[in-house]
């Protein structure tokens, strides 16, 4: 197939000059691009020509004629062959994928720490691995092309294991087509992204695309309504974790304190006891999902995984605890009704008083906003603020949330997020907790006409300095 490209890809061709977006065109770039829409494909090709791209490799769908354009008969096959040239042995690595509504990032982060091999985690963390790879919009799950660009970098060439946080959008758009997961993991399913998927059935259907013979060898899931539906719908070998004796990993006992948990569980009929330095409403399930994915991959000894558990940490912005006197401030990425409810329920028995600060993103799933409001009703004090309002009116977003809030509670709307955090800290009493939800690790805040630097962690630290 590559013989068609002999005039473009000579023996000295640097495959790092391949790009997959017109945004990434530089000197000597060769653009590899296709689109289902002929009109859109022609627009992209014309844009590339205007940017003085060296060559364009595309499909017969392109209607334009230009000396720089090379149209191949079977674009998909050519694309895959070029990927192999870009990143040799990419199909020989161990890929692990985690999907679900909540817990994807945390589970992947745990797994990457547990395997302790030459591994990398690609997901929603503070570290932007792709800042020098592509100028495309940052995605939870990047395109396969960009992942392989990352893996082809000199410092990453020895990586054996790749852990990927897989979004429903990525699955629906087939962004990872070509990757075969050694083990896939499923956390849970609840309302999110209905602006895109429209309903829960479509949302689940997109997740299901990861659990077929073309995408995964086997999978591990948390025992739940949707986890069991996945087991029923998929034909792959599967393993469950939960509190039932017939689960492949059976939790017999758990004790949780503010910063760790103790577990007793059975795996393959043998009992294990372990103390893990993690906290958060689903930390133990995310940890066990990560542990099980590594174990059932048959690539790692359980003894080594348990040993690695002693040093495991949460990612930045995932149930991140900052203490002040006898109180705790917890920064967490929780931004769905279910995750917000779980966060509040988790802290309620551990502190005398709970204050929650949260908002909802603009231009996203409006229907979940009243549900988010309902989710915070168990808190003692509720402060509604801005998340990333984007193009929407800030007050309108707050009004949508308030539809679900019990107005007999102690409720306040403070749209300036910095001032909301200040009020929350000032409200802290002895042995109280302040939950700051929604943005987690993020370092910016998006408004209609501008984007500002904003970090919940930084603001909290500044406020504490002022107080002390």
Q: Can you give the pLDDT at residue 1?
A: 59
Model confidence pLDDT, tens digit, residues 399-442: 999 999 999 999 999 999 999 999 999 989 899 999 999 999 99
Residues 338 and 282 in one domain: no
Q: Which residues of 411-427 are buried (b: 16+ CB within 10 A; e: fewer)?
A: bebbeebbebbbbbbeb
Q: How deeply is 399 buried, as exposed, middle or buried, from its count of CB atoms within 10 A (0-12, 13-18, 19+)?
A: middle
According to DSSP, the residues that pair with 384 across neighbouring strands are 358, 413
For residue 468, name the pLDDT band (cuts at 50, 70, 90).
low
Domain match, 378 and 410 both? yes
Domain of 446: which CATH number? 3.90.190.20
**For residue 301, with 0-12 CB atoms within 10 Å meaning exposed, 13-18 middle and 19 or more buried, which class applies?**
exposed
For residues 73 and 136, membership in a common domain is answered with: no
The CATH number linked to 298 is 3.40.1190.10
- Domain boundary (67, 86, 105) is at 86
**Mean pLDDT of the region 168-188:** 91
Is 168 found in the same domain as 81?
no
Domain interval for residue 163: 90-311
Element housing 40 (H / E): helix 38-50
Q: What is the mean predicted confidence (pLDDT) over 16-20?
A: 94
Same domain? 104 vs 81? no
Residues 257 and 364 in one domain: no
Is 368 in a helix, a strand, or coil?
helix
Please report the pLDDT score of residue 2 as a whole number: 73
74 and 180, same structural domain? no
Question: Which pLDDT belongs to residue 179?
Answer: 92
Does position 304 have pLDDT exceeding 90, yes or no? yes
What backbone phi and psi angles, to 5 degrees, belong to 196?
A: -100, -50
Report the pLDDT value the prediction gives residue 10, as an integer from 0 to 100: 82
Going by pLDDT thresholds of 50, 70 and 90, the confidence category of residue 345 is very high
Higher pLDDT: 312 or 197? It is 312
Among 9-23, 32-46, 54-68, 286-300, the least confident range? 9-23
Of how many residues is the chain composed? 468
**37 and 126 housed in the same domain:** no
Least confident of 4-18, 26-40, 216-230: 4-18
Q: Same domain, yes or no, for 199 and 235?
A: yes
Judge whether residue 195 has pLDDT over 80.
Answer: no
**Mean pLDDT of the residues in the chain:** 92
pLDDT band at residue 53 under the 50/70/90 scheme: very high
* Better-scored residue on pLDDT, 37 or 140: 37
Name the pLDDT band for 129 (thresholds 50, 70, 90).
Answer: confident
Structural domain total, the chain: 3
Based on the fold, state whether residues 180 and 133 are members of the same structural domain.
Answer: yes
Same domain, 145 and 285: yes
Answer yes or no: do 158 and 295 share one domain.
Answer: yes
Q: Among 311, 336, 366, give the residue marking a domain's end.
A: 311
CA dist., res. 188 & res. 211, Å (int):
14
Q: Which of these three, 293, 311, 329, is where a domain ends?
A: 311
Can you give the pLDDT at residue 311? 93
- The DSSP-derived string for 243-298 is SSTTSSEEEEEEEE-SS-EEEEEEETTEEEEEEE---STTHHHHHHHHHHHHHHTT
Q: Determine the pLDDT at residue 66.
A: 95
Least confident of 43-52, 111-120, 133-142, 241-250: 133-142
pLDDT digit string, tens, across residues 326-335: 999 999 999 9
Region 84-104 average pLDDT: 91
Q: Report d(CA 209, CA 377) in Å as an integer.
A: 36
């Amino acid at each position: 197939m590559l013989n068609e490209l002999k005039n473009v890809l000579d023996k000295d061709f640097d495959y790092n000059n391949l790009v997959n977006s017109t945004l990434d065109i530089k000197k000597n770039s060769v653009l590899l691009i296709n689109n289902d829409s002929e009109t859109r494909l022609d627009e992209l090709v014309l844009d590339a020509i205007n940017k003085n791209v060296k060559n364009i490799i595309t499909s017969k769908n392109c209607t334009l004629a230009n000396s720089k354009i090379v149209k191949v008969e079977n674009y998909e096959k050519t694309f895959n062959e070029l990927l192999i040239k870009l990143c040799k042995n990419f199909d020989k690595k161990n890929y692990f994928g985690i999907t679900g509504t909540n817990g994807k990032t945390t589970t992947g982060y745990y797994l990457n720490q547990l395997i302790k091999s030459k591994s990398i985690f690609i997901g929603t963390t503070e570290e932007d691995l792709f800042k020098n790879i592509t100028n495309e919009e940052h995605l939870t799950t990047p395109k396969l092309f960009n992942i392989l660009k990352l893996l082809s970098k000199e410092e990453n060439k020895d990586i054996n294991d790749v852990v990927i946080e897989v979004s429903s959008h990525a699955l629906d758009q087939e962004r990872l087509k070509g990757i075969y997961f050694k083990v896939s993991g499923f956390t849970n399913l609840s309302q999110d992204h209905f602006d895109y998927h429209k309903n829960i059935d479509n949302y689940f259907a997109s997740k299901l695309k990861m659990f077929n013979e073309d995408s995964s060898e086997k999978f591990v899931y948390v025992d739940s309504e949707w986890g069991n539906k996945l087991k029923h719908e998929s034909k792959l070998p599967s393993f469950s974790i939960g509190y039932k004796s017939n689960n492949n990993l059976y939790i017999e006992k758990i004790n949780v304190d503010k910063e760790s948990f103790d577990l007793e569980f059975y795996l393959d009929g043998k009992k294990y006891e372990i103390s893990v330095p993690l906290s958060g409403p689903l930390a133990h399930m995310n940890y066990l999902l990560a542990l099980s994915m590594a174990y059932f991959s048959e690539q790692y000894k359980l003894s080594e995984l348990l040993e690695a558990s002693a040093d495991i940490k949460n990612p930045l912005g995932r149930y991140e605890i900052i203490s002040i006197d006898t109180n705790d401030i917890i920064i967490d990425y929780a931004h769905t009704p279910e995750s917000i409810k779980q966060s509040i329920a988790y802290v309620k028995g551990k502190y005398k008083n709970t204050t929650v600060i949260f908002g909802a993103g603009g231009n996203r799933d409006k229907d979940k906003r009243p549900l988010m409001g309902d989710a915070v009703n168990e808190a003692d004090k509720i402060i509604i603020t801005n998340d990333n309002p984007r193009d929407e009116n800030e007050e309108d977003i707050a009004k949508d949330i308030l539809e679900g809030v019990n107005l007999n509670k102690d409720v306040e709307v403070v749209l300036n997020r910095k001032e909301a955090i200040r009020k929350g800290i000032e409200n802290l009493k002895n042995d109280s907790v302040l939950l700051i939800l929604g943005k987690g690790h993020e370092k910016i805040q998006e408004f209609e006409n501008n984007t500002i630097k904003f970090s919940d962690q930084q603001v909290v630290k500044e406020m504490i300095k002022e107080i002390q």
